[in-house]
Chain A
């Protein structure tokens, strides 16, 4: 059952990475693998399959001596699984079949390394140790014909580099996946549109606004205006540290788009520095309805909506009322 799930995951990952038959053929070409390599690998098949356990032990002994690989060795379950896969790997390496099935097994092992947080350089070091042992075993056996032994070993090495390419790609791909997910969640977190009252939305903007983010902000705001039937939107930019002409242009676009949907936008939270830099840049903001702080913005919004804002102090002056 667990195997099946793992296999399905590997297949899905292969699709995501674009690993199809054509891609695999290209990868073989990259390492220079040809049909003439097959008999050479077949010549050392028995030698490798008979001592598989030795080689696997070499690989993992090398890893256990490294601090960097502790995460892989520390978890018993992962280490066991990795051992088993490595054993299968070595057997498969000399079978002469390097198609989708073979790649799938490599991807599974690569995913396991990625999960254990194994770095590419650590894997490469251990893999080199393993190859070195196979190489010296091959040379010992064919001591009468060193050239043949060397040729066979080099053919096997092509497959080894084919494997390395796959494993490193999986490691990189998995690492990038984490980055992609984080970026996605940051984006989602960064554009909340909150309903404060009936027909009144608050759009707090925090951090750096680039073109893509401005687009997302505008889109989610327009959708919320439609969904909540909003009439007034208070856009608070207290959290925007610096504003240049590009950012102000994005803000203006958002305001204009909201206006086209029939919503009134109030911009609040322009700090003294921001206001000064806007004036210095000569940016035309007369189209914007700006209020100093969020409190004032909300009061203004409620006034537009026809709410009366009561004050508790009796001498606070006349209460704001819809004009």
Chain B
């Protein structure tokens, strides 16, 4: 099952609904890298609300997507990390360093708008 990427204005949104295999994650990565350039997007949002596990490969891919998006001129936000997932990630030493995070999709959109208004990239 590949993850659909929705285009909403100048923001790309991917909502991951089920645990992805490494291969599917790589596909998502490639699709983002391609579409950010094609649609001249300013923001990328990856919604992981439905996931109850984020392993090291998934974390690395998310970070890689964010970095790639930034090189292509877009800000990336990971939204909707669940409390249990956040706790488990910290225990495993996975901190998504350099990647912006937000509580949910709404917050993520607000963040991207905020950064665009300031006219620069900001990494928390």
Contact = CB atoms under 8 A, between A and B. Distances in A.
Interface residues of A, number: 21
Contact of B124 (A215, A222, A259): A259
Interface in A224-252: 225-226, 229-231
B103 interface: yes
B90 A253 contact: yes
A260 B103 contact: no
Contacts of A222: 83-84, 86-87
Interface residues of B, number: 20
A206 B103 CA distance: 27
Contacts, number: 57
A256 B107 contact: no
Contacts of B101: 259-262
B107 A260 contact: no
Given A225-B83, A264-B124, A257 B103 contact: no
A226 B104 CA distance: 9
Nearest to A218: B87
A215 B84 CA distance: 11
B27 interface: no
A219 B103 contact: no
Contacts of B3: none
B83 A226 contact: yes
Given A261-B81, A264-B124, A256 B103 contact: no
B89 interface: yes
9 contacts: A218-B87, A222-B86, A230-B103, A231-B103, A231-B107, A259-B124, A261-B86, A261-B101, A262-B81
Interface of B: 79, 81-87, 89-91, 95-96, 101-104, 107-108, 124
